[in-house]
Amino acid sequence: MKNSKTLSESKHDSYRIAVIGATGYGGLQTIKLLKDHPNFFITYLGGNNTSGKKWNKLNPFLELRDDPIIQKPNIDSIADSSDFAILSLPNGIASRIVPGLLKKGVRILDLSADYRYRSLDLWKQIYFNENKQVERQDYDLCNEAIYGLSEWYKEKIAKASLVACPGCFPTSTLLGLLPFLSQGLVETVGIIVDAKTGTSGGGRSPKENLLLSEASESISPYGVIGHRHTSEMEQEAKHFSGKEIELQFTPHLVPMVRGLLTTVYARLRDPGLTAEDCQTVLDTIYRDNDFIKVLPVGIYPKTKWSRQTNKVFISVQVDKRNGQLVIMTCIDNLMKGQAGQAIQNLNIMTSNSDAKGLPISSFYP
């Protein structure tokens, strides 16, 4: 594929990027962000079902210069054309090509769950259906991969060869909860996570529950016990708290396309702490962050505020009757919850500022 800027013409801060799984929602959002970024240039588009087709015909709403042809993913071709690969593939598929790409020197950002778990055995347990289709023995890569929660692993991400970008629910939950767990300010038992997400979180493949006539004018819980993202959140909560943690997590599907609102309930260890005290904790931890906006006490986040941006809005409240801390966080599930965080991590890996090429201000309403 031709690039609008050849490598010989590129400055030292220009990087060639492959996007594999380019026509799903995550891939499309990634393409949009890369297209507008001054330092990253798309040099390879990969896809199985769409291979051999020209990009602009499939996606006239997101035209690319030179109208590239989508190619069936090939390790050698990706390595020859790219410095980085962003993988937006179904769970289990990325692990088929990641080892080969790493051997070729390609640095990888994986948007699937294949490398989010430090234990491959745990991945096999949680993603048992995918495990039946893919024989994995890459225990070392699972252990070496860096969990791509940008604000909490920045130094490790900068040096990483393989970054496992978190899911949207863990991103929204952990950004609000980790400041209090890491400081030992909340109890590690009885934590409840209640989340509401738009239909794009279910991906682009047709599903009955995501049809307009099914999802419109309705709200419904799903994955009530044992949702896959629960264990992902528990892994990171344990890592930063140093204690085993069991979360009660319930996601809900709401009739909107984009957006994710998470409400976390946790018991304060010191019931004398006020909402203002808890806001100060967030302000201190996220004081130099480009994307996280800590709201004043009494102002609560709306998903529309973060829509089509990489922005995170967090608010806290305390129930003085029982010392219960309420943490409210909203993100755009396709941006900070997926492609936007991948580009943020790519910025970190290439020594750019976190916010370079990423939208912060939303279009409102």
Catalytic sites, residue numbers: 168
What b-and-e string marks burial along 172-182, b requiring 16 or more CB atoms within 10 Å of the CB? bbbbbbbbbbb
DSSP 175-232: HHHHHHHHTT-B-SSSEEEEEEE-GGGG-SS--GGGSHHHHTT--EE-STTT-HHHHH
Gap between the Cα atoms of 245 and 234, Å rounded = 6
Q: Is the dihedral of CA 339, 345, 351, 355 positive or negative?
A: positive
User: Amino acid letter at 130?
Assistant: E
Gap between the Cα atoms of 147 and 26, Å rounded = 18
- Can you name the residues that pair with 110 across neighbouring β-strands? 87, 164
3-state secondary structure of 324: strand
Beta strands 220-221 and 15-20, pairing class: unpaired
Q: Contact, 177 vs 152, CB < 8 A?
A: no
Gap between the Cα atoms of 221 and 74, Å rounded = 39
Gap between the Cα atoms of 42 and 1, Å rounded = 9
Going through 227-331 in order, the beta strands assigned E by DSSP cover 247-253, 260-267, 292-294, 312-319, 324-331
